[in-house]
Amino acid sequence: MSQPTAVLGVIGSDCHAVGNKIIEFALSQAGIHVVNLGVMVSQDEFIDAAIETGAQAILVSSIYGHGEIDCNGLRGRCMERGLDHIVLYVGGNLVIGKREFGEVEHLFKEMGYDRVFPPTVDLSNVAQCLKQDIAAAA
């Protein structure tokens, strides 16, 4: 299989641009073709880009605490628009307040995300997981 492709972006009304560039850099270094949509990306824009580029994964970032609202429903929308087997990741400061990460992870997995990452994750681990998950989904 050729180089895996992943669509990356910061979802919702979130303008945090720095981490987004770092993720793009780290994943590209790890051999993943990253289609970076930048900040303030809507669910449909992620899906539009994934359809056109034939991406195998969508990586959603959320930093400003509204992730719970913004990220919900993406899995269903992907299925509605024909992306039946796409790998979905989410990471960042996904909720406000001090909640156990295990609880947050459970919440987002319930929404249909395959993996959920805290802001402290090592990006080389993310790249590793991504390649495995894409290979497994193929």
Partner 1 sequence: MKVVAIDIGSTWTKGAAFSVAGDEVELLARATHPTTVANLADGFFEVLQTVVPDDAIGRIRRGELRLHYSSSAKGGLAVAALGLVPEVTLEIGKLAAQSAGAKLTQVFAYRLTRADLARLEEMPPDILLFAGGTDGGNTRYVLANAEAIAASALDCEIIYAGNRDVADEVAALLAGKRLTLAANLLPAFNEPDPEPAREAIRAVFLRAIVRGKGLDRIVEATGVEPLPTPYAMLDYVEAIRTQVPGWEAFMLLDVGGATTDVYSACDSTAEPGVVVRGLPEPPVRRTVEGDLGLRVSAAVTAQAEPATLDAALTRAGLSAEVFAEAAQRRAASPEILADSEAERWVDIALAGLCVAQACERHTGRHQPVHTPEGEVRVQTGRNLKTVGKVIGSGGWLGRQADFDPRPWLAGRVLDARGRQVLLPRRFDYYRDEDNLFPLLANLARACPRAAARAGVARLKQ
- The sheet with strand 5-10 has its strands ordered as 33-36, 5-10, 57-62, 87-92, 115-117
Q: Stretches 22-30, 60-68, 109-117, 128-136: which one binds partner 1 (CB under 8 A)?
A: 60-68
For residues 14 to 53, the per-residue mask of contacts with partner 1, x marking binding by CB under 8 A and - elsewhere, is xx-----------------x-xxx-xxx---x--xx-xxx
What 3-state DSSP class applies to 16? coil
Interacting residue with partner 1 among 19, 65, 101, 112 (CB under 8 A): 65
Provide the annotated active-site residues.
14, 16
Q: Which distant-in-sequence residues (6+ apart) come within 8 Å of 66 by Cβ?
A: 12, 13, 14
Amino acid at site 16:
H
In angstroms, give the least distance from the CB of 83 to partner 1.
10
C-beta closer to partner 1: residue 71 or 115: 71
**Quick one: tokens of 87?**
């790998």
